[in-house]
């Protein structure tokens, strides 16, 4: 199957949005993955266009959730963690331990952290909403500065230019 992608500017750097079939399968910050031999740029693709529009509204502070067909590729455990991430309300944070409890596996906070770090659809699957047990910002694949920007946006600390 052909993988389609587009790029877009955002307050947290350029983003690469990726789709396969009717589903969004990736949202990557810099550095983006290198397009493979079966990838094609598709800026006018309906799925990618919807994702760009919703992301623009999110960064403008006009959207608090996403309504997109998602198909992240991962292990059953990873997909369970990513589904639980989508249940964290906009503007709120939880710890890795709390996320482990929410998937009925309270001893798995480290594994939850690893699954969180492998989230292929950043921002939309809000892995940035998971913080350390002591309230500190910890590990984020996009870097802690980006995590802080996203959390500040969601907590209404500042409006981000789009």
Q: What is the pLDDT of residues 46-62, one digit of tens each?
A: 999 999 999 999 999 99
* Domain assignment of residue 107, yes or no: yes
| Residue ranges making up the domain that contains 101 | 76-154
Tell me whether residue 127 is one of the annotated catalytic residues: yes
Contacts of 76 (CB under 8 A, 6+ apart): none
* Domain assignment of residue 21, yes or no: yes
Contact between residue 129 and residue 88 where contact means Cβ atoms under 8 Å apart: yes
Is residue 52 domain-shared with residue 82, that is, in the same domain? no
* Domain assignment of residue 65, yes or no: no
Among 47, 84, 121, 127, which one carries the catalytic annotation?
Answer: 127
0.95 exceeded by pTM: no
Q: Over the range 54-93, which residues count as b (16 or more CB within 10 Å of their CB) and which as e?
A: bbeebbeeeeeebebebebeeeeebebbbebbeebeeeeb
| Residue 40, pLDDT above cutoff 60 | yes
Is residue 50 domain-shared with residue 84, that is, in the same domain? no
Work out the average pLDDT over 103-111.
93
What is the model's pLDDT at position 161?
45
Contact between residue 140 and residue 151 where contact means Cβ atoms under 8 Å apart: no
| Residue 162, pLDDT above cutoff 60 | no
What is the model's pLDDT at position 140?
74
């Amino acid at each position: 199957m052909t993988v389609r992608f587009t790029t877009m500017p955002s307050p947290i750097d350029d983003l690469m949005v990726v789709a396969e079939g009717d589903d969004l399968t990736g949202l990557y910050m810099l550095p983006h993955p290198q397009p493979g031999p079966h990838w094609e740029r598709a800026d006018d693709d309906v799925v990618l266009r919807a994702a760009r529009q919703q992301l623009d509204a999110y960064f403008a502070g006009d959207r608090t959730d996403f309504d997109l067909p998602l198909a992240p590729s991962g292990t059953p455990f990873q997909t369970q963690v990513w589904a639980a991430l989508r249940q964290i309300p906009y503007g709120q944070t939880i710890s890795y331990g709390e996320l482990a409890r929410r998937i009925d596996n309270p001893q798995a906070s480290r594994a939850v952290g690893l699954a969180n770090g492998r989230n292929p659809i950043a921002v939309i699957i809000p892995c940035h909403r998971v913080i350390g047990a002591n309230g500190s910002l910890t590990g984020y694949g996009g870097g802690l500065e980006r995590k802080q920007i996203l959390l500040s946006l969601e907590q209404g600390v500042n409006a981000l230019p789009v």
